[in-house]
Amino acid sequence: MLADPAFRSSLVTFLAFAVFIVPTTFVISLGAALLVARTRVMQSFFRSVFFLPTACSYVVAALIWKMSIFSGIRSGLANGVLGWFGIDSIPWLSLADPPWYWLVIVTARLWLQVGFYMILFLAGIQRISPTLYEAAAIDGAEGWKVFRHITLPQLRATSTAVLLLLLINAFQAFDEFYNILSTFGTYPPYARPPLVYLYYTALGSGQDFGHGSAGAVILTLIIAVIAVAQGRILRLGDRGE
Amino acid sequence: MAIVRSKRQSRITGWARYSALVVAALLFLVPFYLLVRSAFMREQDLGSPDFHWLPPVWETSNLTGLFDNPAIPMARSLLNSGLIAVTQTVGVLIVSGLAGYGLARIPYRWSNVVFYGITATLLIPAAVTFVPSFVLVSTLGWISTLRGLIIPGLFQALATFLFRQFFLGFPKEIEEAAFIDGLGYWGTFWRIVVPNSGGFVAAIGTITFIGSWNAFLWPLVIGRDQESWTVQIALSTFLTAQSVQVSQLFMAALVAIVPLLLMFLFLQRWIVEGVERAGIGGD
């Protein structure tokens, strides 16, 4: 299994994907939460707008991204915008190199997920005691210092949970890869994260359940190790009494 | 002097914050706008080299054509999605609600073991178990059946965990009063606990419904025949095969997200609470 180059390349694909998606989603959803939390006028409107894509499925997002925003033709939004600056159209999805498809996949997932994590950060921010901020104001701290020394440390539990969820969800990515990259019923040989690899190994023409299950066990072990190492998200053993 | 400067400064940061929010909000709304616009475009306008901000002609026949086209099982797939999402939501609420209550309140020697067993499965991402689950379901002969689509999703460890945590915090005095009045665990649960847990049930129910309606991998693996497609699978099949008109595909997607957008408008409060509970683990 581990000697299978296709399996190893799926792990590499996951790592590359995680390196892009985890930090960007983290930063953007935290930024959105901070902006929304400090807004008084139309706060619930802005919160709803960022949260709304959560109701959208990956299939629908893939459709909009593939056929409208990043369609290779000039009437696609991205190429239309490039056209205003006199830049030639880019075939976003049909080339393996340069790998523009990463931009398509990462932005689709960002749009779908940022609202979810923003809600988690907002809940965390609202739990921070206002007296901490009052004390900081008396000490003359403002702006970045307040964020660095009060908000961020107070959000540690939320941040850990968000990072872990982001990592697990990136690991399970399937829907947007499948729907954005497969055309006319075939999936390209590259950009196959673990679940896409498993899908085609176990359920493709080979129907290799044994290999598929072995792969699943390895993936489960990796996830379990990550989860146990971080450990705290569910606070095992906390009976809450 | 310092105060004046900081006032002006805070006004500037206020404006900067609003500008950033407005720009970000517009960016987040663009995909929805594109979806609606493209759903009402004529096929030749969608394919033309010019970008149209609004449809040159509003084509409403995309909607009627969608349900008239025998090649697209739109009505059937919407019905399947609705059936699956409703039964799964009701099922999860009953099964996980009862299990969570039992684990929280009924003294039983093995309850901790059972609870840790359930919690441990949370560490295994559900999608990783899909190959063995598929083998199991196909052995039962449930491929391409609603049973195969619904039943494996009826027990959810996360919902059970959240219900247990919630019921641990339920005021015990009320339940004890019910016990004195002669209600057992069963009666107390249905007549005292459930009617007083409306908000929490709504929160778990809404996010379960959304997850079920939008589910993709499991319906893709199990729903092999057209009759068992959910709306997501129908959309995906036509998207990846590119076998229907693009404008009709956008209309189908619009129809597929309308139920959730309505839910969002009216039940957003509970969805937010559900996300908070599910994301952080119920504290």
Q: Which two tokens stand for residue A21?
A: 């998606």
Indicate the Cα dihedral angle B130, B253, A178, B29, nearest 10°.
-110
Q: Would the pLDDT of B124 be above 80?
A: no
Q: Span B185-207, mean pLDDT?
A: 92
**CATH of segment(s) B71-280:** 1.10.3720.10
Whether residue B73 has a cis bond before it, omega within 30° of 0: no
Alpha carbons A101 and A179: distance in angstroms, whole number: 12
Alpha carbons A173 and A176: distance in angstroms, whole number: 7
Nearest CA in chain B to A196: B217
Residues of B in contact with A199 (CB under 8 A): 217, 221
Helix axes B130-139, A209-230, angle to 10 degrees: 140
Q: Which of A74, A65, A79, A67 is nearest to B50 (CA)?
A: A74
pLDDT tens, residue by residue, B58-114: 888 888 888 888 878 899 999 999 999 999 999 999 999 999 999 999 988 888 899
Instruction: Write the CB contacts of B143 (distance below 8 Å, at least 6 apart in sequence).
Output: B137, B222, B224
Place of tokens 């009701």: B90
Count CB neighbours of B80 within 10 A: 22
Q: Which of A48, A52, A208 to mutate to test the interface with B (most CBs of B within 10 A)?
A: A52
pLDDT tens, residue by residue, A16-43: 999 999 999 999 999 999 999 988 888 8
Chain A contact for B253 (CB, 8 A cutoff): yes
Q: Span A56-75, mean pLDDT?
A: 89
Q: Which of A218, A69, A78, A123 is nearest to B279 (CA)?
A: A123
The answer to whether the complex's ipTM is over 0.90 is: no
Nearest by CB to residue B242, choosing from A61, A183, A219, is A183
Grade residue A236 by pLDDT with cuts at 50, 70 and 90: very low
Give the three-class secondary structure for A237.
coil
Give the three-class secondary structure for B192.
helix
Alpha carbons A193 and B157: distance in angstroms, whole number: 25
Place of tokens 């499965």: B121
- The full set of domains in chain A, from first to last, is 18-185 (1.10.3720.10)
pLDDT of residue B134: 86
Residues of B in contact with A158 (CB under 8 A): 280
Grade residue A237 by pLDDT with cuts at 50, 70 and 90: very low
Q: Which of A91, A63, A72, A65 is nearest to B49 (CA)?
A: A72
pLDDT tens, residue by residue, B11-70: 787 888 889 999 999 999 999 999 999 999 888 888 777 777 888 888 888 888 888 888
pLDDT tens, residue by residue, A157-183: 888 888 888 988 888 899 999 999 988
**Residue A186 φ then ψ, to 5°:** -125, 145
pLDDT of residue B31: 95
Q: Span B204-226, mean pLDDT?
A: 92
Q: Span B122-128, mean pLDDT?
A: 67
Instruction: Write the CB contacts of B140 (distance below 8 Å, at least 6 apart in sequence).
Output: B148
Q: Do B128 and A120 touch (CB under 8 A)?
A: no
Helices within A128-208 (DSSP H only)? 130-138, 144-146, 152-154, 156-171, 175-181, 194-202
Q: Span A9-15, mean pLDDT?
A: 89
For B:56-115, CB contacts with A below 8 A are none
Grade residue A118 by pLDDT with cuts at 50, 70 and 90: very high
Helices within B106-169 (DSSP H only)? 111-122, 130-139, 146-150, 157-168
Nearest CA in chain A to B219: A175
pLDDT of residue A234: 46
pLDDT of residue B2: 46
The DSSP element (H or E) to which A155 belongs, if any, is none
Alpha carbons B174 and B186: distance in angstroms, whole number: 15
Q: Which of B111, B128, B210, B247 to mutate to test the interface with A (most CBs of A within 10 A)?
A: B128
